[in-house]
Amino acid sequence: MTQQADGWQNLAANIPSNYSRLIARELDMTTRQLPVLLRGTGLDVVQFLSEDSMITPAQQVRILSNALLLSGQPAFGLRLGKRLTPATHGAMGFAASSSPDLLSALRAIQTFLPTRASVIQLHLRQVEEHLECRLDFQVPLDADLQRCLADTMIKVLLEFGEFIVGRPLYEAEICFTHPAPEYHAIYSEYLSGRIRFGCNQLTLKLPMTLCQEPNASANHENYRLALQQCEAMLAQLQTQKPSYQTRLKKMMLSRPPGTLSEEEAAASLFMNKRTLARKLKQEHSSFRQIRDDILSQQAASYLCDSKLSVEAIAALMNYHDSANFRRAFKRWFGHPPEQYRQRFSSRDSLPPAP
């Protein structure tokens, strides 16, 4: 584990709550039953149901622990993994599912996984003719939770693989660290390939030839937009002088577009909202200005570098109503999105950010 075991419970909220809402759906819970799932997290139901809310690693672990208990099924992790299809993983899933091949998809997951599940790390290594995908958990977990999360994450990786290859990955070799559980007979119902228990590391092994098969659903334009754009922006930020603006931009870029609140940002910087506003003012900036700068750059790039519809771009940028996106875009650039696309159809003619 790379996180200090005595400090992980104080880590900031950086995990999208949609995973926990999917847990509630898998348990077939009603809104009135949610407090039982949220017991011990400090979250209320309204906050939990907010589509753009983020939760802490400690809250996510507690929700998963509660869910495992409520399900009454030791194999709950396999069920949950089956529900976590590529479409449930936001920009990371968008990049992976539109990638040229499975190897590129796994690299995208490796890059973006910290922005979706900061308690997990994926390591990729080629060993002779195979690719080893090793998963490490960054927080202390009891044996039942570790087994549950291991089941879930292996199933998630196989879901991506099956989506890209178009069939079950019979060539896969799965190595679990936990001993064979009582429900080991049902693993074959959820996981393809050869399964081993009691191994030294949690690993999924895949033939390199399989990883390099072309993705029939590849979309190079979407892949580039989802993966390269944020990488380029982060690389640019790393060359700038450290400031509260830079730190805030990095936080915003590590989250789904527009989802970081001013309160969350201030808490992550160990200050209150008023203090953050004062420090940003000293740098001749503000939270809203920084947020608008990032969103406007992303929106302009999507419009000029892709053929995605305005509605699709609005959804990618977490606007639940395309009308709200259109109003925001006109405020940024003075033109509606369609007119902007017509006027600035090439990268060379992009106007400066507002």
The predicted structure's pLDDT at residue 3:
41
Among 211, 228, 263, identify where a domain stops.
Answer: 211
Residues 6+ apart with CB under 8 A from 132: 123, 124, 125, 126, 203, 204, 205
Domain residues for 291?
A: 220-349
Asked if residue 255 and residue 111 are part of one domain, the reply reads: no
Inside any domain, residue 149: yes
Among 160, 189, 211, identify where a domain stops.
Answer: 211
Asked if residue 166 and residue 19 are part of one domain, the reply reads: yes
Whether residue 304 is predicted with pLDDT greater than 70 in this model: the reply is yes
Asked if residue 238 and residue 181 are part of one domain, the reply reads: no
Q: Which two tokens stand for residue 82?
A: 């089956």
Asked if residue 97 and residue 189 are part of one domain, the reply reads: yes
Asked if residue 162 and residue 245 are part of one domain, the reply reads: no
CA trace torsion 126, 110, 294, 55 (10° rounding): -170
Q: Which residue has the tokens 């949220």?
A: 38
Asked if residue 328 and residue 286 are part of one domain, the reply reads: yes
Instruction: Give the count of beta carbons closer than 10 Å to the beta carbon of residue 303.
Output: 22
Asked if residue 114 and residue 94 are part of one domain, the reply reads: yes
Question: In the chain, how many domains are there?
Answer: 2
Residue of 145, 156, 137 lying closest to 92 (CA atoms): 156
Give the mean model confidence (pLDDT) for residues 245-262: 81
Asked if residue 198 and residue 230 are part of one domain, the reply reads: no
Inside any domain, residue 90: yes
CATH number reported for the structural domain that contains residue 224 in this entry = 1.10.10.60
Residue of 293, 291, 301 lying closest to 259 (CA atoms): 291
Most confident of 50-54, 169-173, 300-304: 169-173
- Counting every residue written for the chain, the total comes to 354
Alpha carbon distance 346, 279 (integer Å)? 37
The predicted structure's pLDDT at residue 343:
74
* Top-confidence residue, 148 or 128: 148
Inside any domain, residue 332: yes
* Top-confidence residue, 79 or 289: 79
Among 179, 211, 243, identify where a domain stops.
Answer: 211
Give the mean model confidence (pLDDT) for residues 189-205: 96
Inside any domain, residue 2: no
Asked if residue 203 and residue 176 are part of one domain, the reply reads: yes
Asked if residue 283 and residue 161 are part of one domain, the reply reads: no
Dump pLDDT digits (tens) for 8-50: 666 667 788 889 999 999 999 999 999 999 999 998 998 888 8
Three-state DSSP class for residue 205? strand
The predicted structure's pLDDT at residue 294:
84
Inside any domain, residue 1: no
CATH number reported for the structural domain that contains residue 132 in this entry = 3.90.1520.10
The predicted structure's pLDDT at residue 227:
66
Asked if residue 127 and residue 235 are part of one domain, the reply reads: no
* CA–CA distances in Å: residue 148 to residues 17, 217, 312: 18, 30, 35
The predicted structure's pLDDT at residue 228:
65
The predicted structure's pLDDT at residue 2:
41
The predicted structure's pLDDT at residue 196:
97
Whether residue 233 is predicted with pLDDT greater than 50 in this model: the reply is no
Asked if residue 254 and residue 111 are part of one domain, the reply reads: no
The predicted structure's pLDDT at residue 307:
80
